[in-house]
């Protein structure tokens, strides 16, 4: 039982490049989330998916797209990376959205030069 896994662990992009961050969970959770964490700051919600087939914007969605591929997988895409998107990205999942305990992945450290 791996919990929440994220790939890659590290990535360096040049401005304007695109990439997709992958997230998968094996806990049969309905809800999944993408956060970003900048140095010295808390986590900010980018997008979440309450259930398979649905996605909703969070606090900072601009510059990102998401896909809930199936119940297990939730991907985050940067179409044209910018230096302001340099951050650590965390994926999380929970049984349902909202008040339920979230289980976080180990994070992806992204640098955009």
Partner 1 sequence: LAKTTQPISMDSYEGQEVNITCSHNNIATNDYITWYQQFPSQGPRFIIQGYKTKVTNEVASLFIPADRKSSTLSLPRVSLSDTAVYYCLVVSRGDSSYKLIFGSGTRLLVRP
Rule CB under 8 A: say whether 95 interacts with partner 1: no
Q: How many residues bind partner 1 (CB under 8 A)?
A: 26
> Which residues, other chains included, contact 31 with Cβ-Cβ below 8 Å and sequence gap of 6+?
48, 49, 50, 51, 93, 94, 95, 96, 97, 100
- In the bound state with partner 1, the residue whose beta carbon lies nearer, of 9 and 77, is 9
Beta-strand relationship, 65-68 and 108-112:
unpaired
- In the bound state with partner 1, the residue whose beta carbon lies nearer, of 40 and 53, is 40
Rule CB under 8 A: say whether 41 interacts with partner 1: yes
Rule CB under 8 A: say whether 79 interacts with partner 1: no
- In the bound state with partner 1, the residue whose beta carbon lies nearer, of 81 and 92, is 92
Query: d(Cα 49, Cα 88) in Å, to the nearest integer?
Result: 20
CB of 17 to partner 1, least distance (A): 25
Rule CB under 8 A: say whether 63 interacts with partner 1: no
Task: Extract long-range pairs of 64-69: CB within 8 Å, 24+ residues apart.
Answer: 64/34, 66/34, 68/32
| Residue ranges in contact with partner 1 by CB under 8 A | 4, 33, 35, 40-45, 48, 50, 56, 58-59, 90, 92, 97-99, 101-107
């Amino acid at each position: 039982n791996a919990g929440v896994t994220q790939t890659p662990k590290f990535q360096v992009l040049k401005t304007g490049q695109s990439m997709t961050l992958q997230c998968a969970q094996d806990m049969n959770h309905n809800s999944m989330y993408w956060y970003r964490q900048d140095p010295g700051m808390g986590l900010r919600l980018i997008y979440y998916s309450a259930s398979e087939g649905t996605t909703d914007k969070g606090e900072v969605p601009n510059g990102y797209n998401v896909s809930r591929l199936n119940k297990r997988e939730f991907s985050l895409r940067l179409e044209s990376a910018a230096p302001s998107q340099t951050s650590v990205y965390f994926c999380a999942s929970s049984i349902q959205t909202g008040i339920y305990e979230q289980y976080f992945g180990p994070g992806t450290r992204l640098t955009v030069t």
